[in-house]
C-alpha cells in the first residue's frame, strides 16, 4: 500500500496537472515565494583582511585599527 502524494504547500492530495501541488493557486504561491527570496539559501561571507587582522589583534600599516576607517 502506498501513501497518496500530498501538496508541497498545503498538504491536500496532488493533482497531476499541478504536481507537486494540488492547484494552480498553491503553485503560484510557491513561485511567488521563490521570486521574493523566501527560499534563499543563506550564504557564508568570508571575513575580509581587516576583520582577520582585528581578530588577531593586529594593527594596520599606519598603526591604526584597520576596522576603524
d(CA 53, CA 62): 13
Q: What is the average per-residue pLDDT within 33-57?
A: 85
How many beta carbons lie within 10 A of that of residue 58, not counting itself? 12
Predicted TM-score (pTM) above 0.85: no
How many beta carbons lie within 10 A of that of residue 31, not counting itself? 11
Residue with the bigger pLDDT between 50 and 28: it is 28
The listed CATH number (3.30.450.40, 3.40.640.10, 3.40.630.30, 3.30.50.10) that belongs to domain 1-59: 3.30.50.10
Average pLDDT, rounded, for the chain: 84
Residue 67 scores a pLDDT above 60: no
Question: What residue spans define the domains of the chain?
Answer: 1-59
Q: What is the average per-residue pLDDT within 40-51?
A: 82
Specify the pLDDT at position 51: 84
Amino acid at each position: 500500500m502506498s501513501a497518496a502524494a500530498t501538496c508541497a504547500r498545503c498538504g491536500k492530495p496532488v493533482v497531476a496537472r499541478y504536481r507537486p501541488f494540488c492547484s494552480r493557486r498553491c503553485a503560484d504561491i510557491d513561485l511567488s515565494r521563490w521570486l521574493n527570496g523566501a527560499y534563499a539559501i543563506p550564504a557564508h561571507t568570508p571575513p575580509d583582511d581587516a576583520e582577520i587582522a582585528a581578530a588577531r589583534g593586529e594593527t594596520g600599516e599606519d598603526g591604526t585599527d584597520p576596522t576603524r576607517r
